[in-house]
Amino acid sequence: MDNRQVNINRFEAEMAKVTRDGVDKLMAFIRKSDMYAAPASTRFHLSVTGGLLQHSLNVLDALRANLTKNDDGTYSYEVAGVPAARVTEENVIIMALLHDICKTYFYTTEIRNRKVGGKWEQYEAFAVDDKIPYGHGEKSVMMIEEYMKLQPVERYAIRWHMGYTEADTLSFNNAIDKYPMIWALHSADTQASHFMEANEGNKLAYADNGSAEYADQPTMQEATAPVFEEATPV
């Protein structure tokens, strides 16, 4: 079994723990999309086939490690040893695995030129082709809620997982005050992309799950489904 199939199986097993209405429709959308084939970026981290899938699982691992598991199965986000927020296992899975669903239908491949050994050669590379231009975190929220309703803590954490720009600092800070899990997810996302992931796979220290090797060339599967299927209102 190849590494990407291992990751697909794990992603599906984690999402099978989510019992919310509409999750079956959401998973049908994910399976028809390029979620399992897309890169996590064009060149910054995990810019390989299956990189988005690997990144999503890395964020889940990082987020769980940032939290304290309680005896009742819930998780606490602690600041200086004091619980600031409490969430369920389902909350954690949804926030981590779906935070970057906005990157489905976002990438394409193109032929570029580069000089190697004094000679020009062509190579295939990932490029952005945003078919749903609706932002980033807010776009993930929109796409998820086409199929499954999010709880407020999930909605806010996913919306703000990238942090903030100068223009929305006040809104970001106010949102953190209401939902401290925003910072936990943002931290996990940053840890995954900066410390766990290299350009072509996980760094060796984080590759013990057999997911460090990827295809040499960026080849994406054909996504035959429409960008959005008509969803049942939730």
Domain edges within the chain:
3-106+133-206
pLDDT at residue number 178: 86
Write a three-state SS string for 161-207. Answer: CCCCCHHHHHHHHHHHHHCCHHHHHHHHHHHHHHHHECCCCECHHHC
pLDDT at residue number 23: 98
Q: How many residues does the chain have?
A: 234
Instruction: Indicate the SS3 state at residue 79.
Output: strand
Pair type for strands 68-69 and 119-128? unpaired
Give residue-wise pLDDT tens across range 132-185: 878 899 999 999 999 999 999 999 999 999 987 656 776 777 788 889 999 999
101 phi and psi angles, rounded to 5 deg: -60, -20
Instruction: State pTM to two decimals.
Output: 0.77
pLDDT at residue number 188: 94
Query: 120: Cβ–Cβ under 8 A, 6 or more apart, which residues?
Result: 113, 114
Give residue-wise pLDDT tens across range 58-114: 999 999 999 999 999 999 999 999 999 999 999 999 999 999 999 999 999 999 999
Give residue-wise pLDDT tens across range 9-49: 999 999 999 999 999 999 999 999 999 999 999 988 999 99
CB-based contact 39:51 (threshold 8 Å): yes
Strand runs labelled E in 48-103:
68-69, 75-79, 82-87
Separation of alpha carbons 122 and 67, rounded Å: 46
CB-based contact 160:172 (threshold 8 Å): yes
Q: Which two tokens stand for residue 206?
A: 């984080």
Give residue-wise pLDDT tens across range 108-118: 999 999 989 88
